[in-house]
Structure 1
Amino acid sequence: MNPKDTDLHGNVPDTSPVALLIIDMINDLEFPGGDELAEPARVAAEHIAVLKRRAKALGIPVIYVNDNFGRWRSDFKEAVDHVRNDGVRGEFLASILSPESDDYVVLKPKHSSFYVTTLDTLLVYLQTKHLILTGMTTDSCILFTANDAYMRDFNISIPSDCVAAIKPTYTNDALAYMKRLLGADVTPSSQLDLATLCQDVSLV
C-alpha cells in the first residue's frame, strides 16, 4: 500500500520502525476463569507499564488494541470507565495501565488485533516493521495476533514477562509455538534493548 497522504490527515504524527501493542489489558476479567487470570494479568501489567515508559522515552508509539467485549455501541473511553468505576475484578488493570492522551487505540471484535480493525492502516502510516506484542491471553489473542503479524511479514517480539494466560502452561506452550514457527523473540522485557531494536529494524 502506498498512502497518498503520508500523515493520515494529520492524525498520526509518529513514524517508527517499532510499535508496542498492548492487547486486551483494559479488561474487567468478569468471565469464567477471570479469577485465575487476575494474578498473572497483574504481574504482566506491571512489566508492561515499565516497558511502556521505556518505549515512549524512545519515541516508540504505544497502541492499545482492545476487545469491545460485544459492546457494539461502546468506545474505548467507555471501556476504560467501566473497568475503573464499576467495581469489577479487573479494576487494578486500568490503574496500572491507564492509557494516555498520545496513545493510539484500536478496538477489535475478535481474537486477532488485525481482524476487521484499522491496525493495518495505522501501521502502514507509522512505517512500522517490528511489533512488540504484550497483553492477554497468550494462547488466544496474542497467538492469533502474532499469526496475522507473521503473515504480514512483521518482525515480532513477545516479551515472556509481558503476557498472561489462565495457566502458566498455556503461556509457556504458546510462547514455544510462536518462537518456533513464527520466529518470535520471547526475550523478557528487562533484557529487551529497544534502542538497538529500533536501529536494527530501520536498516531492514
Structure 2
Amino acid sequence: MGHSALIVIDMINTYDHADADLLVPSAKAVVPRIARLIDEARRRKVPVIYVNDNFGEWRSHHGEILETALAGPHADLVEPLRPRNDSLFVIKARHSIFYETPLSYLLSQLNVGQVILCGQVTEQCVLYSALDAHIRHLRVTVPRDAVAHIHSDLADAALRMMERNMDVTIRNSASIEF
C-alpha cells in the first residue's frame, strides 16, 4: 500500500503573472493551512516534496527560485512555507507535477502509495496532477481548504471532477490522515 507524502505545488511563487490578482487572495487564505500540513507531516516524518515551476529559467535551481520568490512583493506568502535545507524539491515545466519530472521515481524510492496534494492552482496544476497520480495508481487526497484557485467556480468543478472521476479523497486540512 505504501507510505504517504505531502506534495506542495507551486507555492514558491513570485505572483508575477497575468492571473496573480485573482490568485493572491485565495493563496493568502490557504497559506496558514498548508504551513500546518507541512509542520504536521514533518512531525510525523512524512516526506514533504515541493514541486514547483521554474518560471522558464532553465538554468535556475530550487535555491534561486526560493530567493527570487522571497525577494518579490508577495514574500509573505512564501516565507511560512519555506523549504528547509533538507527538503525534497522537484522542478516542473508544465501543469502536472509528473510531466517530464523524476517525481514518479522519487515516490517509488520512498515507497509512497498515497499523495496529499496542496498548493495552487486548483483548477489547473492540482487537477492535472491529481489525474496523473490517479493513472499511476496512487491514492490521492486533496484538502479543499489548502488549495488556492483563480476562479472559484472552476475550482469547485475541478474538486468535484477529482472526487467523481479520479477517486480522489476531498476533505478539510484538519482531517488529513498521513
2:49 alignment partner, one of 48, 55, 63: 63
Write out aligned runs for 1:106-117 (5 A): 106-117=90-101
Report what 1:50 is aligned to: 36
Distance 1:173 1:108 in 2: 25
Distance 1:132 1:176 in 2: 16
Distance 1:47 1:171 in 2: 17
Q: Match of 2:104, as an amino acid?
A: D
Distance 2:45 2:5 in 1: 9
Write 1 or 2 for the structure with the bigger share of strand. 2
2:17 alignment partner, one of 21, 31, 45: 31
Question: Match of 2:144, SS?
Answer: coil
Write out aligned runs for 1:1-204 (5 A): 17-85=3-71, 87-88=72-73, 90-194=74-178
Report what 1:5 is aligned to: none
Distance 2:49 2:136 in 1: 18
Deviation at residue 167 of structure 1 after TM alignment: 2.0
> 4+ runs of 1 displaced by more than 4 Å?
none
Alignment TM-score, normalising by the size of structure 1: 0.84
C-alpha distance after superposition, 1:174-195 (max 9, x if no partner): 101100001111110112233x
Q: Match of 2:167, as an amino acid?
A: G
What percent of counterpart residues are identical?
Answer: 36
Alignment TM-score, normalising by the size of structure 2: 0.96
Task: Specify every segment of 5 or more residues in structure 2 that has no aligned partner in the other structure, as ranges.
Answer: none
Distance 2:30 2:121 in 1: 11
Task: Specify every segment of 5 or more residues in structure 1 that has no aligned partner in the other structure, as ranges.
Answer: 1-15, 195-204
